[in-house]
Amino acid sequence: MKKLASTLPNMILSLGTVTVVAGAILGGVYAVTKEPIARQDAERQVQAIRQVAPEFNNDPTAESREIKLADGITCTVYPAMKDGRLNGAAVETSSNNGFAGEITVMAGFNADGSVRDYRVLKQAETPGLGSKMEMWFRDPAGARSVIGKNPETTPFYVTKDKEQHGAIDGITAATISSRAFLESMRDAYQAYKQFQEKK
């Protein structure tokens, strides 16, 4: 017992030293990796804007605007200007209603509000099911594709949602993921509309 009592302060000192050193190492790693990760995220964002937005010769990130929707969702609109005229936009938005949580989408709209393209920037949906959203909603089979459709005239809800007159085929066995994706697309369109009205 006496031996334990005499070694206890040394054990506490050793554990304290290990904790301080480990904390310092983790802090150092975070400081070193923070900037490259932020730069990589920014590059991924710019690449997604280029992929989904119509042709532009402005700097959409410099001219971006946050739009808060009535349901509390905040979207970021990246205007695609061509020779000073609004040619469309890329809109980043997210939904927390995915099967496995948050889904973040970059939606591209033409000037008339039709969907030009989209990219799923973040998702943790079930592999082989909900994760198919990156390709599913541009597949021309059946009523899967949202490309070329305007949420103003086409109900962006899954066909199972009869009350909303859903017009888009959801991913097989992944209705929750499909609803979250289409919710994001509807929100992105509303943000784009508000941006156009304020322009």
pLDDT at 92: 97
Instruction: Give the separation between CA 109 and CA 24, rounded to whole angstroms.
Output: 46
pLDDT at 198: 81
What are the structure tokens assigned to 193, written together?
């509309």
Q: What is the pLDDT of residues 79-98, one digit of tens each?
A: 999 999 999 999 999 999 99
Which residue stretches of the chain have pLDDT < 50?
none
pLDDT at 111: 96
Instruction: Give the separation between CA 46 and CA 176, rounded to whole angstroms.
Output: 29
**Which pTM was predicted?**
0.80
pLDDT at 9: 67
pLDDT at 42: 64
